[in-house]
Amino acid sequence: MSDIFVPQRQRLILPALEKFYSAIAEPFGWAAFRVTIGLSLVVAGWPKIQAPLAQSGFVESLGISPGWLFSPMLAAMQFFGGFLIAFGLLTRPIALANAVMLLITLWFHMAHPYPEAFFTVEGLAYLQANPELLTSAAQSQLLADNGAMFGMRIQEKAIYASLFWAAGAALIAAFGGGYFSLDRKLKKEF
């Protein structure tokens, strides 16, 4: 194992904190990070598990066929894989598979931005007819530019969420489940 990622304890400004870092901060921090990434995948995967074939057409539009097979597989990988990452079981291969999927998702969001006019004509007409559904600030912002700024914000959030999850899954794939993982308890890692 390379020492490149292992902190050099002799360089600590406060050497007395070495035991805190190694016994508490590092293992608990890594476990919290792993659980956060895993449960985020579970939450994002839940709608896909409820309708596992709903993404078939989308998956095929990316050139991944047959959609009827890969759509449920991707849903299961995200939802159940998120649980496995959170618990630290089969951590590296599951995290790697999710990192690849999330990089494809990131590419998709960057290559296919939301349209400038985020709302349809019918949607805008509905909001204009029912202004009580929006705050006055939302009325002036959303209705003035047909939701373009709103769409841009959603686009940014989609990109940043995919980037964060992909990077997190890649880190977990690289470093494994950590001290508080089922992989470690089983003394097996793939």
Query: pLDDT per position in the chain (190 positions), as tens?
Result: 445 555 566 677 888 888 888 888 889 999 999 999 999 999 999 999 999 999 999 889 888 899 999 999 999 999 999 999 999 999 999 999 999 999 998 998 898 887 666 677 787 788 778 878 878 887 777 777 777 777 888 889 989 999 999 999 999 999 999 999 999 889 877 7
1 falls within a domain: no
Closest to 82 in 3D by CA, of 74, 94, 73, 71: 94
Measure the CA angle with vertex 67, ends 66 and 68; round to 5°. 95
Strand extents, DSSP E, the chain? none
96 falls within a domain: yes
11 falls within a domain: no
pLDDT at res. 188 = 76
pLDDT at res. 122 = 83
Q: What is the pTM of this model?
A: 0.79
Other C-beta atoms closer than 10 Å to the C-beta of 74 total: 24
Measure the CA angle with vertex 183, ends 78 and 89; round to 5°. 20
pLDDT at res. 61 = 87
4 falls within a domain: no
56 falls within a domain: yes
Number of helices (H) and strands (E), helices first, in the chain? 9, 0
Domain count, the chain: 1
Give the C-alpha separation, 96 to 171, whole Å.
Answer: 9
163 falls within a domain: yes
140 falls within a domain: yes
pLDDT at res. 160 = 93
Give the C-alpha separation, 121 to 136, whole Å.
Answer: 20
8 falls within a domain: no
